[in-house]
Amino acid sequence: MAIYQYQCTDCGPFDVSRPIGQALSEEPCEACAEPARRVFTAPMLTRTSAALARALGAQEASAHEPRVVTEVPPARRGRSPASDPRHARLPRP
């Protein structure tokens, strides 16, 4: 649903909620029932939350300036190689 603003010549501005694209050029005034013309206003944009803004910023930055990784993070390092010499003869992928 979108909120459209109308201006009555006698009563002033008022808002009407309708589905997007369903706004009429004239709407009856809520107070006096006289036809009121639609007023074109800037869209009402909502502010994003801080967490979402951070995530969107990181996503946008990674598209143009990817972070370069120089080593494997500590949590993902594998175990030290086994000391069994037979493991060295196993096929490698």
Flag whether pLDDT at 59 surpasses 80: yes
The reported pLDDT for the residue numbered 29 is: 93
By C-alpha distance, which of 53, 51, 50, 69 is closest to 61?
53
pLDDT digits (tens, 9 = 90+) for 67-88: 777 887 777 666 666 678 888 8
By C-alpha distance, which of 9, 14, 7 is closest to 37?
7
What is the percentage of the chain residues whose pLDDT exceeds 90? Answer: 30
Average pLDDT over residues 6-34: 91
Instruction: Among 5-9, 14-18, 44-48, name the one with the lowest average pLDDT.
Output: 44-48
- Are the beta carbons of 33 and 9 closer than 8 angstroms? no
H-assigned helices in the chain: 50-64
> What domains, with CATH codes, occur in the chain?
2-39 (2.20.28)
DSSP for 44-65, written as a single string: -PPPPPHHHHHHHHHHHHHHHS
- Are the beta carbons of 19 and 53 closer than 8 angstroms? no
